[in-house]
Amino acid sequence: MKQDLIVILDLGSTENTVLARQIRDLGVYSEIHPHDITAEELDAFKNVKGIILNGGENRVVDGQSVEVRPELYSLGLPIISVDYPQSKCMTKLDCLPDEETLKQFVFGECKAEANWNMKNFIEDQVELIRKQVGDKKVLLALSGGVDSSVVAAMLIKAIGQQLVCVHVNHGLMRKNESESVVKVFRDELHANLVYVDASDRFLGKLENVADPEQKRKIIGGEFIRVFEEEARKLKGIDFLGQGTIYPDIIESGTKTAKMVKSHHNVGGLPEDLKFELVEPLKQLFKDEVRACGVELGLPHDMVYRQPFPGPGLGVRCLGAITRDRLEAVRESDAILREEFAKAGLDKKVWQYFTVVPDFKSVGMKHNARVFEYMVIIRAINTIDAMTASIEKVDWDVLERITNRILAEVENVNRVCYDMSPKPPATIEFE
C-alpha cells in the first residue's frame, strides 16, 4: 500500500466527515468505518496507522452506549477517543480535537506519513480491486455521469477487459451525450462496452404519462429492467461496480446516524441476480472524485460537468413527453450550454438548463400566425442544492441565446427566463 491510513470509527458523531477532511488536509488518508468493524477487517487494510473513536450526540442508541469491539484495543495500534457526550457545555469545536492534538496523534503517535494524494490513492485502489476481483468479471452501469465515469476509468485501469460496461441510452440524454460516452470509453479507453439504445422503449412507456412522479417511477423502473436484461445475457459475472461516493453513504444513513434519504445507484435488481459490490470511490467526497477522474485521464468536460438528474431531459419536457418537445429541450439545452461556455459562465454557474412546458402560445412567423412551444431558461447557484438563487445573467448573453433558440429550434416561438429562487421553487420543474 502506498498510503498510510487513519481509521475513524463512527460512534455516533455527526462530525465524522469534518474530521476525515481535517486529517486529509494534513496530507494523511483517512477513512470512516462503522463502530463494529472487526480486527480482521481492519487488518485487511494493511496500512492502518491509528484509530480515532469518534463519539458524539448519537452515541447512545436505545439506551445503550455504542462501543467498539474490545479486540481492537489489543491490535497494538495507537487509539484516541474523541468523545464529549457528557459535557454539558459541549460546543461544535469541542467535538473535534484541535489541530495540534490531531497533528500530535497522527504524526507523533501513529507516525503516519503525509502521503495521501490521488496518484497513491489510485494505486492502492487498483491493488485492492485486483485482490477483490481476481480473474472474475465486473459489470458496471455507465451513465456517463461523473461518479460512474470515474469508477469505470478506475476499473479499466485495474482489470481492463474483465470490466463490462453497459450504457443504457434512455432517449432522455442531452445532445451527443451517449455518443461521447461511447467515444471516450470504447474508442479511447478501449473498454468492453455494451451500448443499448432503449430510446423507443422508454418513450413508448412514457407516452401520455403526465404525472411527474409517475414519469420518474417509469424511467427508474425501466432502467433497472433494461439493465437486468443485459446482465442476464452476460454470463459469468460475479461483481457489480458502483459509483457510490461518501455523501451517498451518509444520505442512506450510517449505523448510528439517522437516514436522510434512501439511495440507490442500481438498486432494485432481483434477488437471483446477486453480485458482490465493488465500490472504489466510497470513501471520497465529490471534489476528490473529480480529482481522481482527472488523474485517471478523463476529459475535463466529463469530470466537471454540471449535475444532471437520473431521469434526464424527461423531467424538463414537462407533462406527457412528446418527441417534438423533447427535441426542443435537447436542442435548446445544447445552445444554452454552448453560449454559456463562450461567455465563461459554465465555470461560474452551478446548474443551467432549459425546460419546455406542455402548452403553446401564439406567435408570428413569416407573416403568419403560429401556435408553438416556449423554452424556459433556468440558471442557478447553490452550495448544497437545498436552497438556490438565480444567476443574474447578462442581458446581452440572454438575448444571444434567445435569438439562437428562436432561429434554430423547431416549434418554438417564445423564450422566458425563470427568476425563481429555491424555495419556493425547486431547481427542476418536475
Under rule CB under 6 A, residue 27 binds ligand XMP: no
Q: How far is the CB of 347 from ligand XMP (least distance, A)?
A: 17
Under rule CB under 6 A, residue 310 binds ligand XMP: yes
Among 65, 87, 101, 426, binds ligand XMP (CB under 6 A): 426
Of the candidate spans 20-28, 97-105, 306-314, 337-345, the one that interacts with ligand XMP by CB under 6 A turns out to be 306-314
Q: How far is the CB of 426 from ligand XMP (least distance, A)?
A: 3
Under rule CB under 6 A, residue 351 binds ligand XMP: yes
Classify residue 228 by burial, with Cβ atoms within 10 Å: 0-12, 13-18, 19+: middle
* Residues in Cβ contact with 357 at an 8 Å cutoff, skipping those fewer than 6 apart: 318, 319, 373, 374, 376
Q: How far is the CB of 424 from ligand XMP (least distance, A)?
A: 11
Q: How far is the CB of 283 from ligand XMP (least distance, A)?
A: 20
Strand 368-381 vs strand 351-355: parallel, antiparallel, or unpaired?
antiparallel
* Residues in Cβ contact with 318 at an 8 Å cutoff, skipping those fewer than 6 apart: 355, 356, 357, 358, 429, 430
Instruction: Identify the DSSP state of 187.
Output: I
Within 10 angstroms of residue 282's Cβ, the number of other Cβ atoms is 17
Chain centroid to CA 370: 42
Q: C-alpha cell of 316?
A: 424538463
313 and 330 in contact (C-beta within 8 Å)? Answer: yes
Distance CA 416, CA 328 (A): 14
Reduced DSSP (H G I as helix, E B as strand, rest coil) percent helix, strand, coil of the chain, to 5: 40, 20, 40
Among 2, 157, 201, 422, binds ligand XMP (CB under 6 A): 422
Closer of 286 and 422 to ligand XMP (Cβ): 422
The three-state secondary structure class of 18 is helix
Among 212, 247, 299, 307, binds ligand XMP (CB under 6 A): 307
Q: Give the HSE-up count for residue 64: Cα atoms under 13 Å, Cβ half-sphere.
A: 5
Among 171, 241, 311, 319, binds ligand XMP (CB under 6 A): 311
Distance CA 69, CA 220 (A): 40
Residue list 323-342, contact with ligand XMP (CB under 6 A):
none
The three-state secondary structure class of 2 is coil
Of the candidate spans 10-18, 95-103, 191-199, 308-316, the one that interacts with ligand XMP by CB under 6 A turns out to be 308-316
Q: How far is the CB of 145 from ligand XMP (least distance, A)?
A: 8
Q: How far is the CB of 113 from ligand XMP (least distance, A)?
A: 37
The three-state secondary structure class of 172 is coil
Among 247, 309, 357, 363, binds ligand XMP (CB under 6 A): 309
Residues 368-387, mask of contacts with ligand XMP (x by CB under 6 A): -----------------x--
Closer of 120 and 382 to ligand XMP (Cβ): 382
Q: How far is the CB of 285 from ligand XMP (least distance, A)?
A: 17
Of the candidate spans 44-52, 270-278, 303-311, 410-418, the one that interacts with ligand XMP by CB under 6 A turns out to be 303-311
- Residues in contact with ligand XMP by CB under 6 A are 307, 309-311, 351, 385, 422, 426-428
